[in-house]
Amino acid sequence: MAPAILTQRPKILFLDAYDSFSNNIVALVEQNVDVDVVKIFIDDPLLKGINASGDQAAFLECLKGFDAIIAGPGPGWAKCDEDVGLMKNLWELQDENLIPILGICLGFQSLCLAFGADIERLDEPKHGIISTVLHKGQSIFRDVEQLLATQYHSLQVKLNHPIQTKRAVRYPAQLWEPTETCPHLEPLAWDFHSERNGAVLMGVKHIQKPFWGVQFHPESICTNDEGKRIIQNWWEDALAWKRKRMFRNVPKQSPLSTSESLPKSFDDFWRELGFYNSKKHSTTFPRRDFTAKLDSGTLAPEELASLVAHGDGQSLPDLPPSTVHCSTTGSGRLTVADVCELLDIPRHEAIVLESGLQSNLVPMAVGTGRMSRSEDNEHSWDLYKGLTGHNPAPFGAYMRMHNVHILSSSPERYISWDRSQSAQCRPIKGTVQKKPGITAETANAILSSSKERAENLMIVDLTRHQLHGVYGSDNVRVSQLMEVEEYETLWQLVSVVDAVPSGIRKPMTPEEWEDPAEYASGSGKQSVPYLGFQAFVESLPPGSMTGAPKKRSCEILHKEEDGKRRGIYSGVLGYLDVGGGGDFSVVIRTAIKIDSPDNDKEDVWRIGAGGAVTSQSTPEGEYEEMLAKFQSTARAFKPQPPAKRISKSKRVEIIEPDNPQFAELLANMRGGEELSLDDAQIMLRAVERELRRRTAAGEEGTLAEAEAEGGFN
């Protein structure tokens, strides 16, 4: 294949298998290698449509516009053609069309499968697990020191290697030798982290073709900097291969053809890919590390004595995204991942119905509890005040719109952005309920476990991916990674991801907003791109409520929940600033009521709660976490204990048993009438203020007179 040597900057094609970390890989490559990356989905309609007849001409011509390819990660199985799409065609490239390729995760498995390996399930899946990868320092692992790599996979490559079949090798060097089953694949790295899994292949290279692959995710926030070095090494090896190939067997005399290299029908095809049309012209280009001066003054790469010049062009046009409808209204059958508790509240009673809980993981909880309520707390505003008192949270919200009441005490910021379009997300994963015996140290220990950190890490990497897709490769930072924050009823594991447009020093949260002079004057605001709102839209639904990979997770949830709607639980709630900012929370720790004209005798409140299910989850643990989250909100609907009443004989003992002046005061209050503790304390403070005033003024008077002055006659 004639390489794209006439571009101003090298181009890498990224084949995206609808993964939730793809943009992080693009960012990693663009930040560490001097290239532009063009992303195409594995089922790209243009290429897939042209190739429907089996003709690969269009696909091969597309590849000529790139210097290398990355076959990315994604959900699914390498043996399923639908899951790998165009990726499968890469490994079938013949000699004249070869191009350097790096496979990551699914791309790695697809590469190995194409050259004799098998794909099997891991006994112990790796979802957000960080482990040390063993390597020999060869090929793309050269000069790489200790590699701590993040893994997101439940399948593994089997080479029929002795270290996999017998869990042993005869001599150390055998670890790095190809097998009879896969003679063209040279092992480069292994993971021995899990005794259950044994040796898991982490890296390979093809011994004849320019194909490399890694199972782990070099782009993850928790993969150390050696992951960057691997990407740089791969690119160096790709360029070296291109230099060697470009000028092999070059004839001494062969004129350069300037005729059109393709039929005119392909012009529209190239325009769709963002390249200039193929046409007759001469081009001057700088000498690069993969160009060389020919003594003959002529150039004829490979068999064809022609070059196809492709200019810089632009990125691919936006293609219709593959969407999965994740409804956010109504309610339906609920599983452990989506629990909707019903609080049916007649005028003086509350009924907690748990019989609607359905779960394939834990036994169904069935039961009814009744609790009395006073009319003082029957209004939604009073309930909200009670909720914020029991469970104060930074993103509390009260909304009453006609017949809809929303009481929220959410601790999780979905996304905020200021008027400069700097954005911030605060994903939460990992929860410990406050209860007897659970100290801050205990909570920290629990939230430092592999399970809790894996859940949080997965959402952090997902959030980075979403923000990279809007703000670009150089403008997303993790300012807080998996720190424990304390709330009234819970401890939570919280991370903070910031996105800052070029030229802005740091993100600002709404708490730091200022009203700039240019906004007041109306100048400059038209030129501000609405990146924050774009990130808000493109990141829905919240990743902390879907998991990753998001597309596949939504498909599974949609199926498991029979397509029923969840209600606004797991959606977002917030506001748009007229000046261009916004702030939204994730709808958790929230109660919702919709008044019905057909039911004026009871109020029905819904509280959603759930837990993230990963390979390390247990049914009991997730159920307990779900109930802890539910109870933090449901406490507002529990009957409050009656105010403590104090009789005349016990007032002194409860308030201040050692102070005779207080005894005299309380004895005179309201002629011995019973008081609530709160009333007694209020009156006591009023009298105390009056006594202090008289003392400061040099006045004299009895406690009874002070009581009268305080308004308690």
Matching residue, tokens 């997300």: 425
Length of the chain: 713
Q: Please list, in sequence order, all residues whose beta carbon lies within 8 angstroms of the beta carbon of residue 295, skipping any fewer than 6 positions away.
A: 252
In the chain, domain spans: 11-251, 339-637, 645-709
Which CATH number is associated with domain 339-637?
Answer: 3.60.120.10
Instruction: Name the catalytic one among 242, 429, 550, 629.
Output: 429
- Please tell me the predicted confidence (pLDDT) of residue 553: 82
Angstrom distance (rounded) from CA 71 to CA 88: 10
- Based on the residue annotation, tell me whether 412 is a catalytic residue of this protein: yes
629 is catalytic: no
Residues 6+ apart with CB under 8 A from 509: 416, 418, 424, 583
CA atoms within 13 A on the CB side of 316: 21
pLDDT of amino acid 348 = 37
pTM: 0.70
Amino acid at 377: N
Residue 566: predicted pLDDT: 79
Query: pLDDT value at position 685?
Result: 65
Q: Give the span between the Cα atoms of 54 and 199, in whole angstroms.
A: 39
574 and 590 Cβ atoms separated by less than 8 Å: no
Class of residue 403 by CB neighbours under 10 A (exposed 0-12, middle 13-18, buried 19+) = exposed
**In 53-117, beta strands by DSSP E:** 68-71, 101-104
d(CA 489, CA 609): 15
- CA-CA-CA-CA torsion sign (702, 708, 711, 713): positive
Name the architecture of domain 11-251: 3-Layer(aba) Sandwich (3.40)
Under-70 pLDDT residues of the chain: 1-8, 48-55, 247-378, 503-528, 599-600, 639-713
Which residues of 439-475 form beta strands (DSSP E)? none
* First-last CA distance in the chain: 100
Rounded Cα–Cα distance for residues 415 and 655 (Å): 48
Buried b (16+ CB within 10 A) or exposed e, 566-598: bbbbbbbbbeeeeebbbbbbbbbbbbbbeeeee
- Point out the catalytic residue in the list 412, 455, 622, 690: 412
